[in-house]
Structure 1
Amino acid sequence: MEFQYIDLFSGCGGLSLGLLNSGWKGICAVEKNPDAFLTLSHNLITRDEAGYLWPDWLPQKPLSTGELLNDYSSHLSSLKGKVTLLAGGPPCQGFSTAGKRDPNDPRNQLVRDYIKTVEIILPRFLLLENVRGFTHAFSKGGEANKIPYSVIVAQSLEQLGYVVFHQMVKSSDFGVPQLRQRFILIAIKNNDPALKKLGDKTPFDLLAANTPLFRKRKGLPPKKETTVKDAISDLETEGKTYIDCQDSNVSGFKQIKYAPPKTMSKYQAFVRKGLNGDSPNSLRLARHRPATIEKFTKILKSCPKGHCLSVENRERLGMKKQATTPLHPHKVSATITTLPDDILHYNEPRILTVRENARIQSFPDWFEFLGSYTTGSTARKTSCPRYTQVGNAVPPLMAEAIGETLLQLAKD
C-alpha cells in the first residue's frame, strides 16, 4: 500500500525531498514561484526517479494555492479519503521575528488556503511547518491579532475533526549542521488508528525516540552535533584551483574546481552519496570589493565566531546591517536565511556559496539549484533566486525524520 501526500507551498522541494526519502509517495506539489518550481521540477518531478504520481488534471507548472482552490476544487474533492498526508510550509515572512511582523501581510492569509484544502480533502494526517514567530501574538493591529496564528490554526483544525499536536523542533537534533528551530504542527483525524497507537504519547515523543537510530542509519553520530566544518570544509577555497563558474548566467564569476577530499567527514560522505565523485552545482563565489574583504577580515579576527555581531562591534566597524554572524567551525550554524550576507565563512573573508548554504540545510550534493543566484532590488519581491530558495527550504534531513515517524503511525 502506498501512503500518498500533497505538498503545498513546496518551494524548491526541501520538505518533499525528505518525505520522499522517508518512503512517502507524492501526489503533487504546489508552488507559485517560477524559480523555485523550476528547481523542484528539475530534481523531483521530471527526473527518472520522479517522486510524484501527478494527476492528469493538474498542470505541471507554477501554481498558487488560490489558483488550486479556485480552478481545481472539484478535482481536489475527488481526492477526499485518498490522501494520507497534507504537508506544507506557508510563507513565513509575516510571522518572522526577524522581519516586520505585519499582521496584515497578505502572505499570512495563505495559512487559510492550507486549512481550506484540509476541509476539501480531509487527509488522515497533517504536517505544517513555520517559524517560531508563528506562536507569538502580533503586538499591533487590534484585539483580533492578540491570538497567535498557531492557536487559530489549531482551533480551526480541531473544528474540522483533528487532534492537534505542535512543538518547536530543532533541526540540529536530526544531524542538520544548523540550529534552525521551527514550529511543527502534526494533526491526526479523530478516531484514526494512529491515535490508539500513540496512547498517551504525542508524535513528538515518538519522533524523539526514533531520532538516535535515524541518525545512525544515516551514518551520523547518534548524539554529537554536526558542525559547520563537518559540513563544508571540503568546499574551502584555500589551495584550490579556480575555474570560471559553470552555471552562472552572469560572466566573470569563479568557483573552485571541486575534487572529493581523501578523507571526508561522516556528514560529507552522507551528502555526497549519488554523485560518484562529480562536482555539485551552485559553487559560484561572490565577487567582493576590496573594502568588503577588508571588513570581513576584521570581523573574523576581532569578533566572536558563532554569534551575531554585537551593537558595539557593529558600531566599531561602521556597519549598519543588523544581523551578521561569522560562523564557528566547531559549532552548528546559525539559521540560514534568504540574505546571503547574514552569514560569513568561518575562516575566509566571504559569504557562503549557495552550495555551502545547501549543505548546512542538509540538501544532498546531487540536488541542483536552478535560476539566478541573486536578484536586484527591483525584482526582489517577485523572484526567488537560489540563495532565497535554499534559505526558505525545510531541511530535508529533518523532514525525512518527521516523515518516517508519520509513516510509522500511518501503517497498520
Structure 2
Amino acid sequence: MSEKKLKHIELFAGCGGMSLGLEAAGYKLYLANELSPMAGETFAYNLLNETLEGNKAPLKTLWIKSQFPKDSIDKRLRENPFEAPEGNYSDIDDCTILNDKLLIGDINELLKILEKKPVLVKSIKNSEIDLISGGPPCQSFSLAGKREKNNHKNILPESFARLAGMIQPKTVLLENVKGITSPFTENKIKYHAWLEVSKAFVLEGFVPVCMMLNSKYFGVPQNRPRFILLAYRKDIFKKLLKNNFNNDILNLSNNFFEKVLKNKNSLETITVKDFKYYDIENNASLFDGVILPKLTHTERTFISSGEAIGDIRTTRFSYIVNKTKGKYANSLNDIFKIDFQKGIEVKNHDPRNHSFLIRSRFRFYQVVEQFRNGLKKGAIDMFTGKNISDDLRVELLDEFSHHKLLFFDENTNREIDIIPQSIKEVEQLLKLIPTKKHSQRALAEFEPAPSQLTIPDDLCHYHSDHPRTLTVREMARFQSFPDWFEFKSKVTTGGQMRKFEVPQYTQVGNAVPPLLAKSLGELIKTQLNSIN
C-alpha cells in the first residue's frame, strides 16, 4: 500500500522549484498561483504536463484575470501581469474545481475572488491542506504600513498570510532572500522584515519558527543563503510542543506567539529582542531533523561547480538525459523521477554569442580566479584602474606568467592564446576590455557556485576553453533541477520589459532549489506524522 501523500498549495510558484522538491518529499499539489505567465508556462509544462501554446484553452492552467479570452493563449502568455487585472476575462467561477490547477495572476486578485466566492474557500478547506508554501518579496515589509503605497511588493507577505488565514492549512513554509534579515527604516523607526512577517502569520493563527539556511548544506552546488519561516497552525503546534516538551526553539516561538496576540494593538513594541532566527552557520548542532531540517552535506562533501556542470562543458555536443557522465546530474534525475521516453535530449543548453572583448574579459576572470586571495584582489584593482605598487606588479606578472590570456592579433586578424611577457602587456589588454560591472567573476571549479544566478552576465564558466556565460541548463544544474526539466518562454529580456517579463534565466535564478525544498518538505512531513 503506497504512502498517503500530503496536500500542498504553492503561492508565488515561479517555474516550479518548490513544488518539484515537495513532490519528491511525498506531497501532491492541490493548487498553485504564479503572477508571471512566462514562469507559469514552465510550471504547467513540467508539473502539470500541460503545454501552453496556440489558441487552445488549457485544462489545468487558469487565468485569474486577463485582457484576452481563454482561447488566446499566445496573447495571454505575453500579457503584462500588472495590467491583466484591468481585463474583463476570468477563468474562475463558483463551479470551478481548483484541485490540480495553476492559477495565473496577482495573489490579491485571487484573494478578492475567494472573498466573494466562499464556496471555493469551503472546498479548499474541506480538502484539509497540509502545507501552503511560497516566497513573496519581503525585504521592506512592515505591518506599520504606509510605505510606498504604489509598491506592489510591499503588501505581498500580508497577502500570503491572509490567504493562509483563510484556508488554515496545518503548516506554512515561507522562503526568502538573506536580505529580509537586514533592518530598514520607516518614519524614523527601525524595522526587521523577517520579524514583521512572523507577526503577520501569528495574527492569522500560526506559530512561527525562523531560520537562516544555506542551500550548499542540502546538496545544492551553490552558496545560497536563504531565510526560512516555518509556521504551524496553533492546534498543530500544541501537539508538536507536547511531543517535544521543553524544547527551547518551540518555547521561544510559543512565547512570541502569545506576546504578539497580547500586544496586537501595539505591535511596534515587539522587537528582535523578543524573537530570533537560527543561523545554520552558527547553530549547526540544532539542525538535527527534529525542529530544524537535518543537514545532508558538510564542508567536506559540498558539491562543486566542476561536479555540477563538468559533464556538459562543451555546448556544441548534444546530451541525453541520464546518459551524461555526471554523478550529480544523474542523482537529480533519480531523485526527481518522471516517466519519460528514453533518449530525451537535454534542453536549454544553447550558448550565447560573445564578442572578442567579452571572451577576453572572461578569460581574464578565469585566470584571476586561480590566484591566491591577495593577488586576486590586486589583479581586479588593476583591471578597475586603481593604483597598485611596483612590488605587487612584479608578483602579478609572476602569476600571469603561468597562464594564457586571450589577445587579438591584428596582423593575422584572429584571437590568440598567449602568456603575457610583461605587466604592461596585461595592462594594455585590460584597457581594450573595460567593464562597468564589478560583480562579474568566474566560477571556481572546486567550490560551490556563488549565489548570483539571476543575471546571466555576472558569472562565466571556470574552464579556460570556455570563456562564456553559463547556459540556462548549467544554471539549472546549480539550482538542483533535473536534466529533464525544460524551461519555457524567452531566454532573456531587456529594457522596459524587465519590469514584468520573467525569461528563462530569471526563472532559474528566482527558483527555490528543489533539493532544499525536498529537505524542508521531509521535515514537515516527519513532524506531522509524529503528531498523528
Deviation at 1:361, TM superposition (A): 0.2
1:150 pairs with 2:194: yes
Asked whether the 8 Å contact 2:352–2:471 carries over to 1, the reply is yes
1:147 aligned counterpart, secondary structure: strand
Aligned pair partner of 1:284 in 321, 341, 350: 350
- Which of the residues 276, 296, 307 maps onto 2:362? 296
State the number of aligned residues: 382
CA distance in 2, matches of 1:202, 1:87: 21
Post-superposition offset of 1:277: 5.0
Q: CA deviation at 1:68?
A: 0.9
Give TM-score, length-normalised by structure 1. 0.83
- Asked if 1:9 is matched to 2:12, the reply is yes
Aligned pair partner of 1:72 in 81, 90, 114: 114
Q: CA 1:313 to 1:341, structure 2 compared with 1: closer, same or farther past 3 Å?
A: farther
In 2: Cα distance, 1:378 partner to 1:79 partner: 38
Task: Tell me, yes or no, if the aligned pair for 1:19 and 1:400 is still in contact at 8 Å.
Answer: yes
Q: Confirm or deny that 1:172 pairs with 2:238.
A: no
**Aligned: 1:328 with 2:328:** no
Counterpart Cα distance in 2 of 1:6 and 1:194: 22
Equivalent in the alignment of 1:231: 308
Q: Label 1:157 to 1:63 Cα distance change in 2 as closer, same or farther (>3 A).
A: same
Matched residue, 1:118: 164
- Counterpart of 1:63 in structure 2 is 105
Please tell me whether the aligned partners of residues 220 and 515 of structure 2 are also in contact (alpha carbons under 8 angstroms).
Answer: yes
User: Residues 305, 89 of structure 1: CA spacing in aligned structure 2 closer, same or farther, 3 A cutoff?
Assistant: farther
CA distance in structure 2 between the aligned counterparts of 1:109 and 1:126, rounded to whole angstroms: 18
Instruction: Give the match for residue 282 of structure 2.
Output: none
Query: In 2, distance between residues paired with 1:188 and 1:277?
Result: 44
2:457 to 325, 332, 341: 341
Partner of 1:248: none
Kindly indicate whether the alpha-carbon contact (under 8 Å) linking 1:374 and 1:386 is maintained by their aligned counterparts in 2. Answer: yes
Determine if contact 2:320/2:346 at 8 Å carries over to the other structure: no
- Out of 134, 137, 153, the residue aligned to residue 107 of structure 1 is 153
Q: 1:181 to 1:309 in 2, by over 3 A?
A: farther
1:376 alignment partner in structure 2: 494
SS of match in other structure, 1:355: helix
- What is the SS of the residue equivalent to 2:8? strand
CA deviation profile, 1:46-75 (whole Å, cap 9, x unmatched): 369xxx999944464412201110112322
Match of 1:386 in 2: 504
Q: Contact (CA 8 Å) 1:306, 1:326: kept in 2 or not?
A: no
Mapped contact 2:217–2:295 kept (Cα < 8 A): no
Are 1:30 and 2:33 counterparts? Answer: yes
- SS of 2:288's partner is helix
Aligned to 1:253: none
More deviation, 269-278/287-296: 269-278
Q: What is the SS of the residue equivalent to 2:509? A: helix
Aligned partner of 2:79 in structure 1 is none
Structure 1 residue 208, shift from structure 2 partner: 3.5
Residues of 1 paired with 2:299 and 2:444: CA distance?
22
Deviation string, structure 1 residues 94-132 (Cα, Å, up to 9, x no partner): 68xxxxx98974213111110110221111101000011
Alpha-carbon distance in structure 2 between the residues aligned to 1:315 and 1:324: 12
| Cα-Cα RMSD | 3.3
Distance in 2 separating the partners of 1:264 and 1:196: 48
Q: Return the letter of the residue paired with 1:208.
A: D
1:258 equivalent in structure 2: 319
> How far 1:213 moved relative to its partner?
8.3
Structure 2: gaps of 5 or more residues: 52-59, 63-94, 142-146, 251-277, 279-284, 386-429
Quote how far apart the aligned CAs of 1:262 are: 8.0
Contact persistence 2:489–2:504 (CA under 8 A) = yes
Offset, 1:191: 3.2
The alpha-carbon distance between structure 1 residues 34 and 47, as it changes in their structure 2 partners (threshold 3 A), is: closer
**How far 1:232 sits from its partner (Å)?**
0.3
Indicate how the Cα distance of structure 1 residues 362 and 60 shifts in structure 2: closer, same or farther if over 3 A, else same: closer
Within 2, Cα distance between the matches of 1:125 and 1:105? 28
Q: In 1, distance between residues paired with 2:286 and 2:500?
A: 40
Q: In structure 2, how many angstroms separate the alpha carbons of the residues matched to 1:103 and 1:322? A: 33
* Distance in 2 of aligned mates of 1:222 and 1:56: 49
Q: CA deviation at 1:338?
A: 1.7
Q: Distance in 2 between matches of 1:92 and 1:13?
A: 20
User: What is the CA–CA distance in structure 2 between the aligned matches of 1:125 and 1:41, rounded to whole Å?
Assistant: 25
Q: 1:406 to 1:390 in 2, by over 3 A?
A: same
Query: How far, CA to CA, are the matches of 1:26 and 1:335 in structure 2?
Result: 28
1:28: how far off? 0.7
Quote how far apart the aligned CAs of 1:155 are.
1.5
Q: Work out the CA distance in 2 between the residues paired with 1:321 and 1:363.
A: 28
Larger Rg: 2
The 3-state SS of whatever aligns with 1:323 is: coil
Tell me the equivalent position of 1:398. Answer: 516
| TM-score of the aligned structures, taking structure 2 as reference length | 0.65
Question: In 2, Cα distance between the equivalents of 1:362 and 1:129?
Answer: 16
Give the C-alpha shift of residue 377 in structure 1. Answer: 1.2
Partner of 2:474: 356
1:191-270 equivalences under 5 Å are 191-192=235-236, 193-199=239-245, 200=247, 202=249, 208-209=288-289, 215=296, 224-237=301-314, 242=316, 256-258=317-319, 264-270=325-331
Unaligned stretches of 5+ in structure 1? 96-100, 243-255
Q: Cα deviations across residues 341-380 of structure 1 (Å, max 9, x unaligned)?
A: 1111111211000000000000011111001100121311
* Contact residue 305 and residue 325 of structure 1 kept, 8 A: no
Distance 1:93 1:346, change over 3 A: farther
Q: Which amino acid aligns with 1:195?
A: L
SS of the equivalent of 1:195 reads: helix
Contact 2:365/2:441, CA 8 A, preserved across alignment: no
What is the Cα deviation at residue 231 of structure 1? Answer: 0.6
The alignment partner of 1:281 has SS state of coil
Which amino acid letter does the alignment assign opposite residue 281 of structure 1? K
Letter in 2 for 1:65: I
Shift of 1:235: 1.2
Q: Which amino acid aligns with 2:234?
A: N
